[in-house]
Amino acid sequence: MKLEIDQQRLISEIETLAAFSDAEPPAVTRIVFTPTDLKARAWVIERCEEAGLAVRQDAIGNIFARWKGAEPAAPAVGTGSHIDAIPNAGKYDGVVGVLGGLEAIRGLQRSGFRPRNSIELLVFATEEPTRFGIGCLGSRLLSGTLSAEAATKLRDRGGESVDEVRKRAGLHGNLQDVKLAKGYYKGFVELHIEQGPLLELAQISLGIVKSIAAPASLRISIEGAGGHAGGVLMPDRKDALCAAAELILAVEHVARSSGALDTVATVGVCDVFPGAVNSIPSRVGITLDIRDTDLARRDGAMRTIERASRDIAAKRQVSIRSELLNADAPADCAPEVRGALAESCRQHGFPFLEMVSRAYHDSLFLSRIAPTGMLFIPCRNGYSHRPDEYAAPEDIARGALVLAESLATLSA
């Protein structure tokens, strides 16, 4: 089997997909189910059909593109990632795993390989939390980690429900049917940029993920009292934004002093009401994203933040309410998938690093229902979720090659 990756075509497809964006290049903004995202999804579906794959979509918009194997009833071998992108992002996060996965399948087709198990490209819907406040909505539903009832309660910042948004996108099926049966996949592999600097620092171009860190996120509402910026004297204020500021610094302090670099915490959203220059903020909404490779340490940090928030509320006479959006457990990658990836690297003499994924991925949830693994490639300076995110063409093609060989091993 002579397996070759068409690097030029793959890179040109990544560039084409990047043009489906609501931000000026090089930035990419592609929020799930916006008109731009829908056009991008249609373009990806066309590429899959062009490759002879049978395409279906489920009720939340996960796209499945299947290359039928010699034993079509046997569990499939899956690969894929996402194409939605946070505001002001780059062109590689998720996309490398989708278009790299597609090119891996096309490379296998060109090589004359015939899979025993079907090989399926999976484009996960709404991996980024931008629209509905929770990441990996598609894979949470696929794995049964989130119930259909809980998913229907989610709304975007404009107040539209998941059901309204997905139905307008033409997705009319029943959310209950999204969950995959255990055994649907024999194995799953996601190719992704590292989103951190370790591969580049080690000058090693491939990373085989051992485990995926555990993320949790909360929506926090702070309610104080508004009023005239001139009229209300300082001792009489219950400024919600000042309380939020104190809480944000407490979050940073807790993460910095956990005793491990693996604890990271971020407040990435701050909505101020009424948001007028001469009005004391009466209400503030912030989000908290907190992660660790160690579940007990992450949960301990969350308890410390909770205590700090009670103290700040009492001291400033505001109310602080938190709503837990998700608190996921870490996942270990499956030995058989790691083994297939490592074997391909060894055969080519490609050095690889065994590593932890600090970002979360749909693979975290797929791992609940299938043996799952991830392959990382470097990104320049470790940059991700920003417009200057960059992965070198040779690294992308090398990743797609190792992915293709692993899919072949798992489906033979």
Residues near ligand GLV, by CB under 6 A = 128, 135, 359-360
Cβ at position 278, least distance to ligand GLV in Å: 36
Phi, psi of 26 (to 5 degrees): -85, 0
103 is in the binding site of which of ligand GLV, Mn ion, none (Cβ under 5 to 8 A by kind)? none
Residue 218 CA to residue 266 CA, distance in Å, equals 11
Nearest to 122 by CA among 106, 107, 142: 142
94 touching Mn ion, by CB under 5 A:
yes
- How far apart are alpha carbons 348 and 278 in whole angstroms? 65
Give the whole-angstrom CA distance, residue 116 versus residue 127.
30
Is residue 190 close enough to count as binding Mn ion by CB under 5 A?
no
360 binds, among ligand GLV, Mn ion, none (CB under 5 to 8 A by kind): ligand GLV
Q: Write down the least CB distance from residue 213 to ligand GLV, Å.
A: 9
Judge whether 212 and 364 are in contact, CB under 8 Å: yes
Footprint of Mn ion on 273-292 (CB under 5 A): none
Residue 263 — φ and ψ, nearest 5°? Answer: -80, 125
Smallest separation, CB 245 to ligand GLV (Å): 24
Integer Cα distance of 412 and 400 in angstroms: 18
Pick between residue 154 and residue 312 the one whose CB is nearest to ligand GLV. 154
Q: Does 362 bind Mn ion (CB under 5 A)?
A: no
SS3 category, 308: helix
- Min dist. Cβ of residue 135 to ligand GLV (A): 6
CB of 409 to ligand GLV, least distance (A): 28
**Residues touching Mn ion, count (CB under 5 A):** 2
Report the residue number, 82 or 237, with the smaller CB distance to Mn ion.
82
Helices and strands (DSSP H and E) totals, the chain: 12, 18
Q: Which two three-digit tokens encode residue 210?
A: 């051992």
Residue 378 touches which member of Mn ion, ligand GLV, none, C-beta under 5-8 Å by kind? none
Query: Which residues contribute to the site for Mn ion (CB under 5 A)?
Result: 93-94
